[in-house]
Amino acid sequence: MYNPQLNAQGELIHLLTTEGLPRRILNQILDKAAEFVSGGELVNQKFADLAGTSVFNLFFENSTRTRTTFEIAAKRLSADVSSLNIQASSTAKGETLLDTVHNLEAMGANLFVVRHSESGAAHLIAKHVKPGIAVVNAGDGRHAHPTQAMLDMFTIRHYKGDFTNLRIAIVGDVLHSRVARSQIHALSTLGCPDIRVIAPKTLLPTGVENLGVHVYHDMAEGLKDVDVVAMLRLQNERMAGAYLPSTQEFFKYYGLTPEKLALAKPDAIVMHPGPMNRGVEIDSAVADGDQAVILPQVTFGIAVRMAVLSIVTANQKGLL
Partner 1 sequence: MKLDMKHIHIKNGQLVDPLAGTENTGDLFIADGKIVGVGSAPAGFVADEVIDATGLVVAPGLVDFAARLREPGQEYKATLASEMAAAVAGGISSVVCTPDTDPVLDEVGLVTMLRQRSKTLDLARVYPVGALTRGLKGVEITEMAQLHEAGCVAFSQGDVPIADLQVLYRAMQYAANFGFELRLRPEEASLVNDGVAHDGPYASRLGLTGIPVVAETIAIAQITQLMRATGCKVHLARVSSAAGLELIRAAKKEGLKLTCDVSINHIHLVDLDIGFFDSQYRFDPPLRSVADRDAIVAALNDGTIDMICSDHAPVDDDGKLLPFAQAERGATGLELLLPLTLAWARANKIALPQALAKISSTPAKALGFEAGLALGQRADLVLFNPEASWYVIPEKLKSQGKNTPFIGHEMIGKVAKTIVKGKVVYSA
Binding-site residue set: 65-66, 93, 115, 145, 148, 178, 233, 274-275
Q: How many residues bind partner 1 (CB under 8 A)?
A: 28
User: Sign of the C-alpha dihedral, residues 26, 28, 31, 32?
Assistant: negative
The annotated binding site for L-aspartate is made up of 93, 178, 233
Minimum distance between the CB of residue 10 and partner 1, rounded to whole angstroms?
Answer: 17
Stretch that binds partner 1, among 85-93, 119-127, 165-173, 244-252 (CB under 8 A): 119-127
> From the list 25, 97, 302, 314, which residue makes contact with partner 1 (rule: CB under 8 A)?
97
CB contact at 8 A, 183 and 230:
yes
Figure out which of the listed residues 58, 124, 223, 264 binds partner 1, where binding follows CB under 8 A.
Answer: 124
Pick the binder of partner 1 from 94, 164, 206, 319 (CB under 8 A). Answer: 206
CB of 267 to partner 1, least distance (A): 32
Instruction: State which of residues 72, 211, 263, 298 lies at the interface with partner 1 (CB under 8 A).
Output: 211
Q: Which amino acid is at 81?
A: V
123 makes contact with partner 1 (CB under 8 A): yes
- Indicate which single residue of 1, 8, 48, 319 sits in contact with partner 1 (rule: CB under 8 A): 1
Among 11, 80, 105, 118, binds partner 1 (CB under 8 A): 118
Residue 174 carries which side chain, given as an amino acid letter?
V
Is the link from the previous residue into 131 a cis peptide, with omega within 30 of 0? no
Minimum CB distance to partner 1 smaller for 197 or for 280: 197
119 binds partner 1 (CB under 8 A): yes
Q: Which residues, 127 to 186, sit near partner 1 by CB under 8 A?
A: 127-128, 140-144, 178, 181
Q: How far, rounded to the nearest angstrom, does the alpha carbon of residue 189 sit from its chain's CA centroid?
A: 15
Amino acid of residue 234: L
Residue type present at position 104: L
Query: Residue 307: phi, psi to the nearest 5?
Result: -60, -45
**69 vs 188, which CB is nearer to partner 1?**
188
- Let me know: does 117 contact 141? Beta carbons within 8 Å: yes
CA distances from 315 to 10, 15, 106, 108 (A): 10, 12, 21, 18
Q: How far is the CB of 98 from partner 1 (least distance, A)?
A: 6
Count of alpha carbons within 13 Å of 157, Cβ hemisphere only? 20
Q: Which is nearer to partner 1, 44 or 206 (CB)?
A: 206
- Tell me how far, at minimum, the Cβ of 175 lies from partner 1, in Å: 8
Going by C-alpha positions, the residue among 226, 149, 216 that lies closest to residue 184 is 149
Q: Among residues 55, 121, 203, 276, which is the contact residue for partner 1, using CB under 8 A? A: 121
> Binding of partner 1 at residue 205 (CB under 8 A)?
yes
- What does the binding site for partner 1 look like in residue numbers (CB under 8 A)? 1, 4, 19, 96-98, 116, 118-121, 123-124, 127-128, 140-144, 178, 181, 205-208, 210-211
